[in-house]
Homo-oligomer: A and B are copies of this chain.
């Protein structure tokens, strides 16, 4: 990877981008997440993004927070770049950090690293914080915004 890696719109400097992650969860690939081509199906990375996103949201207090039931995070878009094939039997680390944190929305960046420390996947997606009743964007409180920004060193 590195120099050979194609240009990706949401990554300016790969090394800096990579080093700014700290939050991660381990993912064990399931057999049912492979396909007849012999490797992990192209759909499955979005399962891994979701697992990591939810744990990240819990840490921030944006998932199932009973003290703050007014706002709900909604996935506005998602994208994934496939860098290396993944196989059944592998374990990966899914990293997440926040980017472009605004008052009512923010980006999440994703990176999957295999056991050989290679980047298998990178990705991003916008999260919008909405009011559950009218669906309109709802400002997040300052504490959450600070927590989000702290996930991107």
Count of chain A residues near B, Cβ 8 A: 30
**Stretch among A15-23, A77-85, A112-120, A139-147 lining the B interface:** A77-85
A46's contact among B6, B37, B38, B43, by CB below 8 Å, is which?
B43
How many of these chains are in the complex? Answer: 4
A-B pairs, top 5 by smallest CB distance, nearest first, are A79-B79, A34-B36, A77-B81, A43-B46, A36-B38
Does A51 sit at the interface, judged by CB under 8 A? yes
B residues within 8 A CB of A41?
Answer: 31-32, 50
Q: How far is the CB of A36 from chain B (nearest CB, A)?
A: 4
A residues lining the B interface (CB < 8 Å)? 6, 9, 30-32, 34-39, 41-43, 46-47, 50-51, 54, 74-82, 87-88
The interface centre, meaning the residue of A43, A54, A79, A88 with most chain B CB atoms within 10 A of its CB, is: A43
Q: Is the CB of B42 within 8 A of A30?
A: no
Q: Is the CB of A47 within 8 A of B30?
A: yes
Contact sample, A vs B, 13 pairs, CB 8 Å cutoff: A30-B47, A31-B35, A31-B51, A32-B35, A32-B50, A36-B36, A36-B37, A36-B87, A36-B88, A41-B50, A42-B50, A43-B47, A75-B82
